[in-house]
Structure 1
Amino acid sequence: MAGPYGLSVRDLNELLSEGGCYSLPSESCNEVIPRVYVGNATVAQDISKLQQLGITHVLNAAEGKSFMHVNTNAQFYEGTNITYLGIKANDTEEFNLSVFFEKAAEFIDKALAQKDGLLYLDLLGKVLVHCREGYSRSPTLVIAYLMLRQKMDVRAALSIVRQNREIGPNDGFLTQLCQLNEKLIKEGKL
């Protein structure tokens, strides 16, 4: 069902499924917008790879110990100069991820605002937003960030992330993004 602004989960699914089919991510992580990466558990747990990429912040959208989650925490990154935020989210249509949209957007904002002045070089912050596969939870949070902080509507935000990584947020998350879109339009923020 489309909201008053005409966007439905079906519309978003059509954007996601190029040629009628979804594809799983072909890389462990992708830079979806400058200095923001979406990735999976493998890259999140590979400290040397994170350092090679210049990652300064990690947002785990699947913190926890079950097979659906990624068992990392702030201690895992201790001594690496990586700032960590964990969100205990399930990849189910019933899970309300939208309660974390603002917290995640704030974390990404802070990561991108960070600068380290070393030897005349400004090393800018880079953030990895990940879940188990980098397919549903983490891209949803990055799309919400683009909507909340970059003033993109849901279609533009989803498209820009999809252009740079194969993603497939579940229908519950897509519904929450449509609701955020309507809220931001009503508030005059889009």
Structure 2
Amino acid sequence: MDRSLLPEGSVRKIRCPGHLLLDRDKEERRHNARHEGSKTPSEQTPTATVARRTSLRAGGRNLGRNQDSQGGPGGPILLRSQEDGSSSGGWCGATGSNRREDWGSNPGLGCIYGSTMIAVETGLYIGSVSDLKDTEALTNAGVTHILTVDSEEPNVSGFHLKFVHALDDSSTDLLSRLDGCVQFITEALSASEGKTASVLVHCHVGQSRSAAVVTAYLMKTQKLSLQDAYTKLQQLKPDVKMNEEFLDQLALYESMSCELDTNSPLYKQYRLKKVTEKYPELQNLPKDVFAADPAHTQNTEVVYRCRKCRRTLFRHSSILSHCLGSGASAFSHKRVSVGSPAGDQKQCTSYFIEPVQWMEEALLGVMDGQLLCPKCSSKLGSFNWYGEQCSCGRWVTPAFQMHKNRVDEIKHINISALK
């Protein structure tokens, strides 16, 4: 067939091994490439200002697209050949521009050239693990400290590092590590000797775990509420989205005035829940889960003793307070008499406490059961790792309850002060 009879721009399909379809455009490009390679360097077409475009015909779609220097949000990366043969370009989602002059390391712009790092404030960046691939870019941005909140420790050198092992799921206890993370950032930014320091906080993609740490930092250092701190971070980095569990932990952090209080009843209850999730078989529990046995120690704190044998059982600080339930209406599935209104502390007929050392043998490997006095074996209450309902109607999880009518409150009196 005479090629001259083919209309201009038409495609001539050729059957070849493997039934591949080659089009006329490809043949022409190959011919031009061979012709260009045969020229001397002085005859070849300059490439310093040529914008190369890659086109892909698949199902009638052209995925390549000419872009000018302004670009558009979400557009493809435009590569321009440089005089040295290298290429530059990319997209900065924070500024909505692919112009190099719009990127830079200006914290006000919120991004670093060629990186996913976003400036939260002067010297503090949030990013992803991909930012660690170019250590030179980190150094040029002034990063001196790196805080990793991820499941794998990164292999990077030349920086002050802190690694926090954390998965992005509901089983992760990030709350217990927040104070240490905030301290690392604070100490880095207040480095002495007149040296400028910057911190990169990152997880895997920079949306949940690192966002939780940065939010906690803003809450503590700028005295912001959880809502205000989270909103501020989302305005700077719109793709931030913490999982619900981390938001709950930050709410608890806020209730403790942004400082971990291991003696807080709320924190003790939270930690017991995490123990249940981490050790579903209830074996080999950490020793610090159990409060010290008050019968073996001496102090002036209010204690509670077995009404029958007077054995000291637990301290007042071991009581885990809870919000009152709705009263009798919470037991609508049962036939109950109308008692005192919701909000009356006398509704609660049991103390819900943290587990004490003398309970350990009874609790390990057992989901629920009775709590017996370690001395006289009289029944004191019950336990259930998955929770029990208080007489006020509130569910407490996990639950270790001691009936008030089985124990006596003992207050120490300073005799010398009465004289």
Return the TM-score normalized by structure 2.
0.33
Aligned to 1:85: 162
The superposition leaves residues 6-64 of structure 1 with CA deviations (integer Å, 9 ceiling, x where unpaired) of xxxxxxxxxxxxxxxxxxx9461100122110000111232111111100100001151
SS at match of 1:99: helix
Aligned to 1:133: 205
- What RMSD in Å do the two structures reach over aligned CA positions? 2.2
Identify, as 1 or 2, the structure richer in helix.
Answer: 1
Counterpart Cα distance in 2 of 1:179 and 1:133: 25
Counterpart Cα distance in 2 of 1:131 and 1:142: 11
1:178 alignment partner AA: A
SS at match of 1:58: strand
Counterpart Cα distance in 1 of 2:180 and 2:148: 12
Aligned to 1:46: 134
- Residue 224 of structure 2 corresponds to residue 152 of structure 1: yes
Query: After the TM superposition, which parts of structure 1 deviate over 4 Å for at least 4 consecutive aligned residues?
Result: none
- Residue 233 of structure 2 corresponds to residue 164 of structure 1: no
Counterpart Cα distance in 1 of 2:229 and 2:124: 13
The superposition leaves residues 62-119 of structure 1 with CA deviations (integer Å, 9 ceiling, x where unpaired) of 151xxxxxx415xx21xx2x210000000002211111100000000011101454xx
Is the radius of gyration larger for structure 1 or structure 2?
2
- Relative contact order, CA 8 A, sep 6+: which one is greater? 1
Aligned to 1:30: 118
Contact 2:151 2:167 (8 Å CA) reproduced? no
SS at match of 1:184: coil
Aligned to 1:183: 256
2:125 alignment partner AA: Y
Counterpart Cα distance in 1 of 2:141 and 2:211: 19
Counterpart Cα distance in 2 of 1:51 and 1:116: 19
Counterpart Cα distance in 2 of 1:158 and 1:35: 19
Counterpart Cα distance in 2 of 1:148 and 1:181: 9
SS at match of 1:85: strand
Counterpart Cα distance in 1 of 2:140 and 2:232: 24
> Which structure 2 segments of 5+ residues have no match?
1-91, 94-114, 261-419
Counterpart Cα distance in 1 of 2:185 and 2:220: 11
Counterpart Cα distance in 2 of 1:91 and 1:45: 22
2:222 alignment partner AA: Q
Aligned to 1:8: none
1:140 alignment partner AA: A
Matched residue pairs, number?
A: 147
User: CA 1:179/1:39 → structure 2, altered by over 3 Å: closer, same or farther?
Assistant: same
User: CA 1:157/1:128 → structure 2, altered by over 3 Å: closer, same or farther?
Assistant: same
Aligned mate of 2:172, from 73, 95, 110: 95
2:180 alignment partner AA: K
Counterpart Cα distance in 1 of 2:184 and 2:228: 21
Compute the displacement of 1:132 (Å).
0.4
Counterpart Cα distance in 2 of 1:155 and 1:33: 18
Contact 1:39 1:130 (8 Å CA) reproduced? yes
SS at match of 2:165: coil
Counterpart Cα distance in 1 of 2:235 and 2:130: 22
Counterpart Cα distance in 2 of 1:43 and 1:159: 24
Contact 1:63 1:72 (8 Å CA) reproduced? no
Counterpart Cα distance in 2 of 1:128 and 1:96: 21
Counterpart Cα distance in 1 of 2:192 and 2:138: 17
Percent of aligned pairs sharing the same letter: 28
SS at match of 2:177: helix
Contact 1:44 1:130 (8 Å CA) reproduced? no
SS at match of 1:124: coil
